[in-house]
Amino acid sequence: MKPSHGTDCATDRLLADVAKARLLVLDEFGHVPFDVDGARLPCQVISESYERRSVISAANVGSGRWGTVFADDKLAAAIVDRVARHGRLVEFGGPSHRLEESLMLGKSGR
């Protein structure tokens, strides 16, 4: 994985570590949106990973709304394009297991 221009040493180390991985898990997309600058790193990681390693991403918004997560519709479209190239979509619906077992609601999982 080639570091992009203008990256710092910590980012270069992160990209080098990602390049060694066989599986990349990107979780919680959609909970906190990126700004445009913040979206560039996950875009770079996905772009350099989707042909080389397995990538799992989890989001609480559909891919058609990833422009709201990545602060730019074109950037989001590029990410979705790469993810969809070899990807499989698995949607989970129904009630939240976490909410059903919530201690705040007086329920116990045991």
Specify the higher pLDDT residue, 71 or 105: 71
Q: What is the CATH number of domain 9-100?
A: 3.40.50.300
**Domain range list for the chain:** 9-100
Classify each residue of 2-38 as buried b or exposed e, where b means 16 or more C-beta atoms within 10 Å of its C-beta: ebeeeeeeeeeebbeebeeeeebebeebeeeebeeee
Residue 84's Cβ-side half-sphere holds a number of Cα atoms within 13 Å equal to 9
Residue 39 vs residue 97, higher pLDDT: 39
Q: Which of 91, 81, 94, 32 is closest to 58 using CA atoms? A: 91
| pLDDT on residue 57 | 87
Cα separation, 8 vs 79, whole angstroms: 23
The pLDDT score that the predictor gives to residue 31 is 82
* Mean pLDDT lowest among 8-17, 28-37, 70-79: 28-37
Q: Quote the pTM value.
A: 0.70
**pLDDT (tens digit per residue) in 51-92:** 999 989 888 888 888 888 888 899 889 988 988 888 888 887
**What are 96's two structure tokens?**
């939240």
